Amino acid sequence: MLINSMKMPKIISVFLIFFLVGCVSEPDFSNRTIEKRSNITHAKHIVFIGFDGLGGFYIPKANMPVLKQMISEGSSCMNLYNVLPSMSWSNWSSLFFGAPPKIHSQENFPSIFDLVKYSASPGHNINSINAAFFYDWYEFDKIYSTVKEGRYIIDSSEKSAQNISEFIIKNRPKFTAIIFEEPDQTAHKKMWGSKKYYKMCVLLDNYLSIIKQSVIDAGIYNDTVFIISSDHGGFLHDHSLNYSRNRKIPLVVCGKGVKKNYTITSLSGICDIAPTMAAILGLDIPSQWTGIPLWEIFE
């Protein structure tokens, strides 16, 4: 059906208004009150699971019962700010380095992996599997570059989830980080919020269930904290612009020492995830990191 040329300006205007309403003012993290707590309960294990392109806006409608159970059993928000540009590398790297790209691009900048690998007891072999990173994008080599052991290539499939599960049961790492490339790939092809997008969310929730069960089977569930997050959301077929559906991502933290059924209320961003993970494990937070632990989530 052809669109009347007289109606086209009105359609464009409506779209622009819709988009502009969703534009985001850059949050000011510099004026945050920095609280420090020394009385939190630490966990011995963290399992971080990242879903590339999972926007906080889309989770309420998604059929993800395992994730939603974790939300009810832990602390969460659906509006954690990512960094600009709203792209994968800038945000995944900021998540693990605890600082935005313009800062963590410095030479020998420490990541959460470095903290975990070098926190072992005296005499411990730093190349043993104390931290494991599962991913499918070669760029992540730059994040986990200090040691070679513990890097594994996966894809967004049930087979990969099963392989990760077997690894956790066998090795019980202190820190396990997993990044699935979905639902980003599906969204770019079929659109964020499409039926295909939500169908992929169902599969991802199943992978989450498999990994959760592996922690139970490994006998470390009661001493583990799960963290689920993302790098960006998306709108239509893209996520690069400064738009709320692109910028606001989920953060779910549940497990030992974490408040249950709690909504995070403070201004928080993706750079706060690494310091929060360090706090959970009782590790010293590097002075170079700009993020701060989300102390409010701890019991």
Residue 96 confidence (pLDDT) above 80: yes
Domain at 43-174+189-194+220-297: CATH architecture = 3-Layer(aba) Sandwich (3.40)
Least confident of 77-81, 126-130, 218-222: 126-130
Residue 81 confidence (pLDDT) above 70: yes
The share of the chain scoring above pLDDT 70, in percent, equals: 88
149-198 pLDDT, tens digit each: 789 999 999 999 999 999 999 999 999 999 999 999 999 999 999 999 99
195-239 pLDDT, tens digit each: 999 999 999 999 999 999 999 999 999 999 999 999 999 999 999
pLDDT band at 1 (very low <50, low <70, confident <90, very high): very low
What's the whole-number mean pLDDT along residues 11-16?
Answer: 46
Residue 129 confidence (pLDDT) above 90: no
Residues 88, 93: Cα–Cα separation, whole Å: 8
Residues 211, 128: Cα–Cα separation, whole Å: 21
pTM of the model: 0.91
Per-residue confidence (pLDDT) for residue 156, from 0 to 100? 97
> Which of the pair, 85 or 9, is modelled with greater confidence?
85
Residue 16 confidence (pLDDT) above 90: no
User: Are the beta carbons of 89 and 139 closer than 8 angstroms?
Assistant: yes
Q: At what angle do helices 195-217 and 158-171 cross, to 10 degrees?
A: 20
Residues 64, 72: Cα–Cα separation, whole Å: 12
Per-residue confidence (pLDDT) for residue 231, from 0 to 100? 98
